[in-house]
């Protein structure tokens, strides 16, 4: 292969020299003999040069072959190493695949456990948040917070989900709850700021009866307290309790009593004390019908007062006086009889007896007529205004019924105009209806009772006049000495 390359190079050089010779022959015509010699030199030179280049090429090829051999050996070693690494990597991949499957299974199990744990945590967190809200509501709605002022800021943060509850929060919640349980199960006497009935904030002695009732004592008054959760303050009720109840509260605070009034409904009953209306507070709600009813009450009261005063004015120990008159009549001591009758002439029975004594000289029939005239003369003053009272007792409930009808008419008118959506719009007519009925019955019942009692008193007095007059006539008409 190498010699063929050299021969080919020599042939090419020879062809090149011949061409040069043919083209340069006219110029070289002076000495054609020199041409072969020059060609030989050139050929020799070219052969040397070709030999050198061949040698150089052979050396380069040898070096290339050596380097290729070295590179091939290095490549074989690298391939062997990589093959070994590939086998190791396949083993590692297989181990990793096995581990991956194991880890995938573990991940599935752990994910399920994590999901269950997260569900439990969410449920527990929800329970804690709900309990925090309940505890906050419980603490804020109790009047004990107006005295002890617990820290409930973190409870609101937990309830509003702005803070994740931890064990410290749970312990603090439990501490607040147990503190309030202890406070609600004890009776304490504290000094706290309250809002009095004039709207001023003052310091007062506050009696805390568990979680049920709170009472206060100031220099000028004693009463019960209410609590407003929104403001967190204790307010004195606008109405004071009765004097006896206030005295019991003071004595209990001073340790002089073992019992004290309290509201077991946690303020509901005391709030009724504030909103409870007296009769005079309810009267203006009855409309214009209440004024005639009150006029009937006033007239009936005046009549009843006059009649009762009249009865009390002429009240005497009748049996004793009549016995004294009868004893004098039996003894025919008419002067003593007249004096006794004159002394007690304010009593109608005595006046009838005196009329009988005046006509003692007359026959029995005439005496009886005289006595009967005296009785008839006494009856009208005793029955004065009684018929008026009966009429007033009958009119009062009728006026109340009239107020009921007018109130219901107003109520139905409101329903027609505005419907039943707002009960407060109907309350005016209903109040008028009920108040007038109540007031009419409240006026009629006592007037009717007094009227009945006065009628009974008049009937009893007339009976006594007839009885004592007949007894006196029998004594007078009885023959002396019999």
pLDDT-derived band at 182 (thresholds 50, 70, 90) equals: confident
- Per-residue pLDDT, 258: 84
pLDDT digits (tens, 9 = 90+) for 340-375: 887 877 888 888 888 878 877 788 888 788 888 888
Residue range 77-100: mean pLDDT, rounded: 88
Residue 475: closest CA among 339, 262, 324:
324
- Which structural domain, as residue segments, surrounds residue 323? 290-477
Query: Does position 30 have pLDDT exceeding 50, yes or no?
Result: no
Burial 61-87 (b: 16+ CB within 10 A, else e): eeeeeeeeeeeeeeeeeeeeeeeeeee
Local confidence band at 445 (pLDDT 50, 70, 90 cut-offs): very high
Does residue 249 sit in the same domain as residue 318?
A: no
304 & 413 share domain? yes
Mean pLDDT of 139-168: 82
Provide the domain count of the chain: 3
Residue 319, H or E segment: helix 318-330
User: Using one digit for the tens of pLDDT, what is the confidence trace for 259-302?
Assistant: 888 777 766 666 666 555 555 666 666 678 888 888 998 999 89
For residues 215 and 175, the answer to whether their CB atoms sit within 8 Å is: no
> DSSP secondary structure string, 401-437?
HHHHHHHHHHHHHHHHHHTTS-HHHHHHHHHHHHHHH
Q: Verify that 299 and 418 share a domain, yes or no.
A: yes
pLDDT at 32 over 70: no
Last residue within a domain, chosen from 94, 118, 142: 118
pLDDT at 451 exceeding the cut of 70: yes
Residues 208 and 347 in one domain: no
Residue 183 tokens read as: 């406070």
119 three-state secondary structure: helix
Q: How confident is the model at residue 447 (pLDDT cuts 50, 70, 90)?
A: very high
Query: Among the three residues 276, 310, 345, which one is the final residue of a domain in this structure?
Result: 276
Segment 235-260 mean pLDDT: 83
Lowest mean pLDDT among 111-125, 320-334, 420-434: 420-434
Indicate if 320 and 409 belong to the same structural domain.
yes
pLDDT at 329 over 70: yes
CB 253 within 8 A of CB 205: yes
CA distance 139 to 152: 8
Cβ distance 367 to 359 under 8 Å? yes
Domain membership flag for residue 282? no
Q: Is it the case that residue 29 has pLDDT exceeding 60?
A: no
Domain-embedded: residue 151: no
Whether 28 is in a domain gets the answer yes
Lowest mean per-residue pLDDT among 28-42, 131-145, 166-180, 373-387: 28-42
Whether 84 maps to a domain, the answer reads: yes
Beta strands in 22-84 (DSSP E): none
Question: Is 37 within a domain?
Answer: yes
Is the same domain home to 473 and 340? Answer: yes
Among the residue ranges 15-24, 38-47, 316-325, 452-461, the one predicted with the least confidence is 15-24
- Check residue 27 and report its DSSP letter: T
Integer Cα distance of 465 and 374 in angstroms: 9
CB atoms within 10 A of CB 446: 15
* Same domain, yes or no: 437 and 310: yes
Residues 454, 309, single domain; the answer is: yes
Q: Is residue 408 part of a domain?
A: yes
**Structure confidence at residue 133 as a pLDDT band (50, 70, 90):** confident
| Mean pLDDT on 206-226 | 84
pLDDT digits (tens, 9 = 90+) for 40-49: 777 788 778 8
Can you say how many angstroms the Cα of residue 140 is from the centroid of all Cα atoms in its chain? Answer: 10
Asked if residue 399 lies in contact with residue 289, where contact means CB atoms within 8 angstroms, the answer is: yes
Quick check: is 321 in a domain?
Answer: yes
**pLDDT over 70 (residue 112):** yes
**What's the Cα-to-Cα distance from 328 to each of 158, 322, 336, rounded to whole Å?**
103, 10, 6
Distance CA 82, CA 311 (A): 140
* Same-domain pairing of 345 and 399: yes
Same domain, 345 and 473: yes
The C-alpha atoms of residue 209 and residue 193 are separated, in whole angstroms, by: 17
344/463 same-domain check: yes
Q: What percent of the chain has pLDDT over 90?
A: 3
Please measure the distance between the N-terminal and C-terminal CA atoms of the chain and give it in whole angstroms. Answer: 206
Q: Which residues contact 338 (CB under 8 A, 6 or more apart)?
A: 354, 357
Give the pLDDT band (50/70/90) at residue 322. confident
Of 69, 93, 118, the last residue of a domain is 118
Say whether pLDDT at 91 is over 50. yes
Q: What is the pLDDT of residue 35?
A: 57
User: Are residues 203 and 85 part of one domain?
Assistant: no
The pLDDT value given to residue 28:
43
Q: Is residue 239 part of a domain?
A: yes
């Amino acid at each position: 292969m190498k010699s063929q390359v050299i021969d080919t190079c020599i042939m090419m050089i020879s062809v090149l020299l011949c061409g040069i010779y043919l083209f340069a022959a006219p110029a070289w015509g002076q000495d054609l003999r020199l041409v072969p010699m020059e060609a030989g030199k050139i050929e020799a030179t070219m052969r040397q040069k070709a030999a050198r280049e061949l040698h150089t090429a052979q050396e380069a090829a040898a070096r290339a072959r050596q380097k290729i051999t070295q590179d091939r050996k290095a490549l074989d070693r690298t391939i062997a190493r990589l093959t070994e690494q590939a086998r190791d990597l396949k083993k590692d991949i297989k181990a990793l695949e096995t581990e991956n499957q194991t880890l995938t299974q573990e991940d599935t199990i752990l994910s399920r456990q994590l999901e269950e744990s997260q569900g439990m945590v969410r449920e527990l967190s929800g329970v804690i948040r709900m309990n925090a809200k309940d505890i906050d509501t419980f603490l804020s709605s109790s009047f004990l917070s107006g005295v002890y002022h617990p820290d409930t800021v973190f409870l609101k943060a937990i309830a509003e989900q702005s803070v994740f509850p931890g064990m410290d929060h749970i312990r603090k919640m439990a501490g607040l709850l147990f503190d309030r349980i202890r406070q609600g199960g004890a009776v304490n006497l504290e000094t706290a700021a309250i809002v009095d009935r004039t709207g001023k904030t003052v310091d007062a002695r506050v009696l805390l009866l568990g979680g049920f009732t709170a009472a206060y004592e100031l220099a000028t008054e004693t009463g019960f307290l209410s609590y407003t959760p929104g403001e967190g303050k204790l307010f004195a009720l606008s109405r004071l309790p009765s004097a006896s109840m206030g005295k019991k509260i003071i004595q209990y605070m001073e340790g002089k009593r073992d019992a004290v009034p309290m509201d077991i409904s946690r303020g509901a009953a005391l709030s009724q004390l504030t909103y409870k209306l007296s009769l005079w507070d309810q009267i203006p709600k009855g409309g214009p019908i209440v004024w005639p009813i009150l006029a009937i009450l006033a007239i009936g009261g005046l009549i009843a007062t006059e009649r009762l005063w009249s009865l009390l004015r002429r009240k005497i120990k009748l049996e004793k006086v009549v016995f004294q008159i009868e004893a004098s009549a039996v003894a025919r001591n008419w002067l003593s009889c007249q004096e006794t009758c004159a002394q007690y002439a304010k009593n109608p029975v005595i006046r009838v007896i005196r009329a009988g004594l005046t006509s003692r000289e007359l026959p029995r029939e005439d005496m009886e007529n005289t006595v009967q005239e005296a009785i008839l003369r006494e009856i009208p003053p005793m029955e004065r205004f009684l018929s008026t009272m009966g009429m007033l007792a009958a009119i009062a409930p009728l006026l109340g019924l009239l107020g009921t009808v007018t109130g219901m008419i107003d109520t139905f008118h409101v329903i027609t105009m505005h419907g039943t959506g707002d009960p407060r719009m109907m309350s005016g007519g209903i109040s008028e209806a009920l108040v007038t009925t109540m007031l009419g019955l409240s006026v009629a019942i006592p007037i009717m009772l007094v009227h009945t009692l006065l009628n009974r008193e008049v009937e009893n007095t007339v009976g006594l006049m007839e009885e004592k007059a007949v007894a006196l006539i029998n004594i007078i008409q009885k023959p002396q000495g019999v």
